Amino acid sequence: MKPLKGFTGLFRLRVGDYRVIFVIANRRPLILEVIEVVKRGDAYKKKSRQRLR
């Protein structure tokens, strides 16, 4: 789990050939809100990043 560069509060996780983009909604208990699941090659393209804003 790493921060998503260029976005405050968003994180990324590599799962095989995919990136899971998510936010941490609550730390106790840990609740994640998945924003998007995309192929790794598409995760940083402009079209994909616009959907996160």
Rounded-to-integer distance, Cα 28 and Cα 47, Å: 33
pLDDT digit string, tens, across residues 1-39 = 888 888 888 888 888 888 888 888 877 777 778 888 888
Q: List the CATH number of the domain containing 30.
A: 3.30.2310.20
Query: In this predicted structure, what is the pLDDT of residue 44?
Result: 67
Domain that holds residue 25: 2-51
Rounded-to-integer distance, Cα 49 and Cα 53, Å: 7
Query: In this predicted structure, what is the pLDDT of residue 51?
Result: 56
Residue 50 pLDDT > 60, yes or no?
Answer: no
**Number of structural domains in the chain:** 1
pTM of the predicted protein model: 0.61
Look at phi and psi of residue 6 and say left if phi exceeds 0, alpha if psi is from -120 to 50, else beta: left
